[in-house]
Amino acid sequence: MAVKYGMLVDETRCTGCRGCQVACKQWNDLPGEVTRNRGSYTNPPALSAKTWNLIRYVETETNGKAGFYFLKHACMHCEKPSCASVCPVGALYKTPEGPVVYDDTKCIGCRYCMVACPFEIPTFDWHKGLLDQALIRKCNMCVDRVSNGLIPACAKTCPAKAITFGERDKLIAQAEAQIRKSPDKYVNRVYGKDEVGGTSILYLSAIPFDQLGLPKLGTTPVTALSEQVMEYTLPFAGAWGATLAGLALFFRLRNRGAEHAAKEKEKSS
Amino acid sequence: MTILNRLRISPGVLILFALMALGALIAVARYLFGIGAISNLNDAYPWGMWISFDLLCGVALAAGAFTTATAVYIVGLERFRPILRPAILTGFLGYLMVIVALMVDLGRPERIWHLIIHWNPHSVMFEVGWCVMLYTTVLALEFSPMVFERFGWKLPLKIIHRITIVLVILGTLLSTLHQSSLGSLFLATPGKVNPLWFSALLPLYFFLTAVAVGPAMVIVESHISARVLKRGLETDLLGDLAKAIPPVLGVYLVLKVIDLTVSGKWAFAFRDGMSVLFWIEIIGFVILPMVLFMRSKVRQNAQSSFGAGLLVVGGVVLNRLNVSLIGWNRSSDALYFPHWMEFAITLSIIAAGVVAYGLVAKYLPLFSPHHVASPAE
Ligand code: SF4
Ligand code: SF4
Ligand code: SF4
pLDDT 10s digits, A130-155 = 999 999 999 999 999 999 999 999 99
Ligand 3 site residues, Cβ closer than 6 angstroms? A 23-24, 27-28, 52-53, 74, 139-142, 152-154
- Contact: A88, B126; criterion CB under 8 Å: yes
Does B134 lie at the interface with A, CB-CB under 8 angstroms? no
Provide the H-helix boundaries in chain A: 19-28, 82-86, 112-116, 143-146, 153-157, 168-181, 209-212, 224-268
Name the pLDDT band for A65 (thresholds 50, 70, 90). Answer: confident
- Contact: B34, A244; criterion CB under 8 Å: no
**Is 0.95 topped by the overall pTM?**
no
Strands in A5-10's sheet, in edge-to-edge order, are: A163-167, A5-10, A201-204
d(CA A152, CA A137): 17
Please report residues of A whose CB lies closer than 8 A to that of B332.
46, 120
Average pLDDT in chain B? 92
Residue B332, pLDDT above cutoff 80:
no
d(CA A114, CA A120): 6
d(CA B336, CA B286): 27
Q: DSSP letters along A231-263, please?
A: HHHHHHHHHHHHHHHHHHHHHHHHHHHHHHHHH
Q: What is the mean pLDDT of residues A17-44?
A: 94
**Better-scored residue on pLDDT, A269 or B58:** B58
Q: Percentage of chain B surpassing pLDDT 70?
A: 95
Residues B65-88 pLDDT 10s: 999 999 999 999 999 999 999 999
Q: Which residues pair with A70 in a beta bridge?
A: A57
- Contact residues, A window 119-138, toward B, CB-based 8 Å cutoff: 120, 123-136
Q: How far is CA B17 from CA A68, B14, B26, B221, B351, in A?
A: 58, 5, 14, 21, 7
- Contact residues, B window 140-169, toward A, CB-based 8 Å cutoff: 165, 168-169
Nearest to A131 by CA among B28, B74, B61: B28
Candidate from A7, A26, A53, A119 with most ligand 3 atoms within 8 A of CB, to mutate: A53
Q: What is the mean pLDDT of residues A113-125?
A: 97
Residue B195, pLDDT above cutoff 80:
yes
Distance A8 CA to ligand 3 centre (A): 13
Q: What is the mean pLDDT of residues B116-140?
A: 96
DSSP β-ladder status, A123-124 and A5-10: unpaired
Residue A48, pLDDT above cutoff 50:
yes
Residue B8, pLDDT above cutoff 80:
no
Nearest CA in chain B to A245: B169
Residue A228, pLDDT above cutoff 90:
yes
Residues A257, A258, A263, A267, CA torsion sign: positive
User: Would the CB of A115 count as within 6 Å of ligand 2?
Assistant: no
Q: How far is CA B5 from CA A21, B13, B359, in A?
A: 65, 12, 19
Nearest to B47 by CA among A5, A115, A15, A41: A115
Q: What is the mean pLDDT of residues B31-42?
A: 96
Chain B nearest CA to A23, separation (Å)? 23
Distance B197 CA to ligand 2 centre (A): 25
User: Would the CB of A139 count as within 6 Å of ligand 1?
Assistant: no
Name the pLDDT band for B368 (thresholds 50, 70, 90). Answer: low
pLDDT of res. B215: 96
Average pLDDT in chain A? 94
Name, in order, each residue with C-beta under 8 angstroms of A96's C-beta and a sequence gap of 6 or more: A1, A2, A4
Q: What is the mean pLDDT of residues A155-175?
A: 97
Q: Percentage of chain B surpassing pLDDT 90?
A: 87
User: Are the C-beta atoms of residues A164 and A175 closer than 8 Å to each other?
Assistant: no
- At B158 the three-state DSSP class reads helix
pLDDT of res. B5: 61
Protein residue with least CA distance to atom 5, ligand 3: A53
- At A269 the three-state DSSP class reads coil
Q: How far apart are the first and last CA of chain A?
A: 84
- At B1 the three-state DSSP class reads coil
pLDDT of res. A260: 81
pLDDT of res. A63: 81
Please report residues of A whose CB lies closer than 8 A to that of B33.
127, 129
Name the pLDDT band for A93 (thresholds 50, 70, 90). Answer: very high
Lowest-pLDDT choice from A53-67, A196-210, B174-188: A53-67
Residues A230-258 pLDDT 10s: 999 999 999 999 999 999 999 999 988 88
Q: Which of A111, A215, A248 sits opposite B74 (nearest CB)?
A: A248
Q: Percentage of chain A surpassing pLDDT 90?
A: 89
d(CA B51, CA A240): 28
CA dihedral A116, A121, A126, A130 (to 10 degrees): -70
User: Would the CB of A9 count as within 6 Å of ligand 2?
Assistant: no
Candidate from A9, A53, A72, A83 with most ligand 1 atoms within 8 A of CB, to mutate: A83
Please report residues of B whose CB lies closer than 8 A to that of A229.
124, 184, 187, 203
Protein residue with least CA distance to atom 2, ligand 2: A107
Residues B212-268 pLDDT 10s: 999 999 999 999 989 888 888 888 899 999 999 999 999 999 999 999 999 999 999
Chain B nearest CA to A174, separation (Å)? 30
User: Are the C-beta atoms of residues B339 and B83 closer than 8 Å to each other?
Assistant: no
Residue A267, pLDDT above cutoff 90:
no
Q: Which of A109, A229, A255 sits opposite B184 (nearest CB)?
A: A229
DSSP β-ladder status, A163-167 and A5-10: antiparallel
pLDDT of res. B369: 46
Distance B372 CA to ligand 2 centre (A): 47
Q: What is the mean pLDDT of residues B169-193?
A: 96
Nearest to A126 by CA among B346, B52, B30, B113: B30
Single-letter amino acid, residue A78: C
